[in-house]
Structures are given as structure tokens and as C-alpha cells.
């Protein structure tokens, strides 16, 4: 971690009547932010974490897989938000009402997912093109949720478009308690550089909290996005992949403390082994071996022999062999 401690003089994040002990949150990421990932990031200092995005239609039709994605551990009580996607007001009202008594802090509506199959259904970032529908969806969710409803948006739909302020104002008028802004358009997916000025413009235009998102790859980035945009919180996504320590770094800097030293190679492997154990307990050994492969690539990026280790683990199908391989890597 480079740089010195920075005192931000920013108050802790508050959404509705919910207070958070720091402004740094783990983003919802499909196939990534399961109980295991959330656990590690919260332990390293994330103030709260989102589930993977869950289909409102899935809840409407009683899909067991959709409901399972919303399961959480007891320690997550008071530190978890559900993210839902959908575009039918009646379905999203049902989903919000169904989840009313769950222990999640808030509900977040996905208005940014760029995946074609989601967009084709008029969901995710497709709602950026239909603000009347977006308003209606959020309005009914607020009515039924019994807790804060927020939304995560992109700056626009087509490349070069900037409709973030207009979209955010529609959300605020519908009763949203906060808005997260990703400084890329839908057509960019995750290419190019995130436009933080868009986040600053939204912040100046709203009375509700604004959370900044995009290109936060280290603790210093998290502080810089707050300083440059005035945002109230920071949502960290890809910067947390293989690096739950990013929250520890960001929180230390935000408190005006010197950041802790970056994790050593051994600490990265130890965390990877812990991640593997958590996934195994949650989903079983077979699924854990398959899922941990992508995490291995993220954790060991930049380490000596990383390319060789990645190739090796991609061929492993046995949990014990996976553990042995990682332990051998740690032991040199």
C-alpha cells in the first residue's frame, strides 16, 4: 500500500435510519458474493456486503435457488443487503413484501447489470431507458419493504451517454434512500476508465446519500473517490477479488491511521485456504473445488509461479489435492 494516512473528516455512512461504521461496502457480484466471500470481506472491515443479485421473478415463482442466494450467516445480521433485479412493479412489490421480515438492512434494485439476457428482459441496465417504469418499480418496493430501498445505476446506456443525474433524481422522487453510481455506461461493460465526475454531479443534485463505484482497486483509490466526488460511501467490486484486505486498508486511511502492510504471499495462500474451507462448508467439496479455481487466479496474481499454479489447479477435481497443492505453494 502506497501513500500516507489521510484524514477525510467525513461522517460515517447513513442510509435511512441505518448507520454504518465506515463507508466501504462490498458490491453485489453474480457468482462471487456468496456467504464465503462476504464473510472474508466483513472480517477485513467491510461495513456491509450485498448478496449476489436475485431475480424478483424467481421469488415470485418460489424458485428455491433464488431464495438460497439470500441465505446468510448469523454474524451478517446488520451487515447485509439484498440486491434484486426485475422490472415488473407487481412482482417487485411482492418480492419486497416477502422479504420484509428478513434480517437484511436494505433492498437494492439492480439498474446496472449489462448482461444481454438481463437487458433483453427489460431488467438491469435496460431500466435506464425507461425511467417511468423505474420510478414505478422503486415506488412500490419502498411501500412494501419496511426498510430502506436503494438502487445501483450506471451513467447511461449507450457509450458516451450521461443520464445519471436524471436517473438518480427519478429514484429519489420515488423514495429511494440512496443511490450507487457506477461511472460507466452499459455498453462499456467494464472497459475503459470509470468517470468519477458523473458521481460528483449526482452527489450535487441529490439530497440522499450517493455511493461511488468504479475503479477502486486499493485503499487509496477509495479515499480518492470520496475526496474527488464528495460521495458518502464507496462500493468496492473487482478491487476485492482475491483482496479482502482492501477494506482493512480503506478503513484505516479513512480513520486517519497508517494503513497496515500489504498481505505477504503466505498470508494470501492462507486466506485462499480459508476461503476454500468456507465454500466447502457452504456448498460441499465438489462445488468448492470448481468455484475456488477462479479465486486462486485472483489471490495469486503477481506472485512468483502464479501462471504455473493456475494451470495446475484448473486440472484438480479433488478437495484434498487442492488443499495439498495450495499448502505446497505456501511452503515453497
Please provide the DSSP assignment of 219-266 as one string: HHHHHHHHHHH--SEEEESGGGTT-THHHHHHHHHHBTPPPPPPPPHH
Cα 278 to Cα 5: distance, rounded to the nearest angstrom = 33
Cα 203 to Cα 153: distance, rounded to the nearest angstrom = 13
Residue 7: the pLDDT is 46
Distance of CA 105 to the CA centre of its chain: 15
- CATH of the domain spanning 14-254, picked from 3.20.20.70, 3.40.50.300, 3.30.420.40, 3.30.70.120: 3.20.20.70
Please give the average pLDDT of every successive group of 10 residues along the chain, which has 332 residues.
44 88 96 96 96 97 95 89 98 98 96 96 97 98 98 95 97 98 94 96 98 97 97 97 98 95 94 97 96 95 90 94 91 68
Residue 20: the pLDDT is 93
CB-based contact 42:25 (threshold 8 Å):
no
Distance of CA 206 to the CA centre of its chain: 22
Residue 303: the pLDDT is 87
Active site residue 290: no
> Which member of 41, 113, 218, 231 is catalytic?
113
Cα 135 to Cα 138: distance, rounded to the nearest angstrom = 5
In the chain, where the domains are located: 14-254, 265-330
Q: What is the CATH number of domain 265-330?
A: 1.10.1200.80
Residue 1: the pLDDT is 32
CB-based contact 163:112 (threshold 8 Å):
no
Residue 9: the pLDDT is 52
CB-based contact 154:184 (threshold 8 Å):
yes
pTM above 0.85? Answer: yes
Count of other CB atoms within 10 angstroms of residue 291 = 19
Residue 11: the pLDDT is 64
Cα 282 to Cα 286: distance, rounded to the nearest angstrom = 11
Give the 3-state secondary structure of residue 315: coil
Cα 301 to Cα 316: distance, rounded to the nearest angstrom = 19
Half-sphere exposure of 73 (CA within 13 A, CB side): 17
Residue 10: the pLDDT is 57
Amino acid at each position: 500500500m502506497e501513500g500516507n494516512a489521510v484524514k477525510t473528516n467525513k461522517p460515517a455512512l447513513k442510509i435511512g435510519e441505518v448507520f454504518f461504521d465506515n463507508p466501504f461496502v462490498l458490491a453485489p457480484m453474480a457468482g462471487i458474493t456468496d456467504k464465503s466471500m462476504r464473510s472474508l470481506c466483513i472480517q477485513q472491515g467491510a461495513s456491509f456486503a450485498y448478496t449476489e443479485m436475485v431475480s424478483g421473478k424467481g421469488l415470485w415463482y418460489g424458485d428455491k435457488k433464488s431464495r438460497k442466494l439470500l441465505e446468510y450467516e448469523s454474524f451478517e445480521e446488520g451487515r447485509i443487503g439484498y440486491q434484486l433485479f426485475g422490472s415488473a412493479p407487481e412482482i417487485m412489490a411482492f418480492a419486497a413484501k416477502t422479504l420484509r421480515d428478513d434480517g437484511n438492512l436494505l433492498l437494492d434494485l439492480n439498474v446496472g447489470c449489462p448482461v444481454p439476457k438481463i437487458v433483453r428482459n427489460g431488467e438491469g441496465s435496460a431500466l435506464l431507458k425507461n425511467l417511468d417504469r423505474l420510478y414505478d418499480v422503486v415506488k412500490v418496493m419502498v411501500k412494501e419493504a419496511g426498510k430502506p430501498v436503494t438502487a445501483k445505476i450506471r451513467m447511461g446506456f449507450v457509450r458516451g451517454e450521461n443520464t445519471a443525474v436524471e436517473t438518480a433524481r427519478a429514484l429519489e422522487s420515488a423514495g429511494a434512500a440512496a443511490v450507487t453510481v457506477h461511472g460507466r455506461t452499459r455498453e462499456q461493460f467494464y472497459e475503459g476508465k470509470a468517470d468519477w465526475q458523473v458521481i460528483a454531479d449526482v452527489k450535487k443534485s441529490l439530497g440522499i446519500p450517493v455511493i461511488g463505484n468504479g475503479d477502486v482497486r486499493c485503499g487509496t483509490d477509495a479515499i480518492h473517490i470520496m475526496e474527488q466526488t464528495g460521495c458518502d460511501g464507496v462500493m468496492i467490486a473487482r478491487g476485492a477479488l482475491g483482496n479482502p484486505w482492501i477494506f482493512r486498508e480503506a478503513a484505516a486511511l479513512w480513520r486517519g491511521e497508517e494503513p497496515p502492510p500489504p498481505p505477504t504471499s503466505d498470508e494470501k495462500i492462507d486466506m485462499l485456504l480459508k476461503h476454500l474451507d468456507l465454500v466447502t462448508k457452504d456448498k460441499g467439496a465438489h462445488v468448492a473445488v470448481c468455484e475456488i479455481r477462479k479465486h486462486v487466479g485472483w489471490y495469486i496474481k503477481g506472485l512468483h509461479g502464479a501462471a504455473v499454479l493456475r494451470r495446475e489447479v484448473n486440472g484438480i477435481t479433488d478437495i484434498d489435492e487442492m488443499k495439498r497443492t495450495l499448502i505446497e505453494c505456501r511452503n515453497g
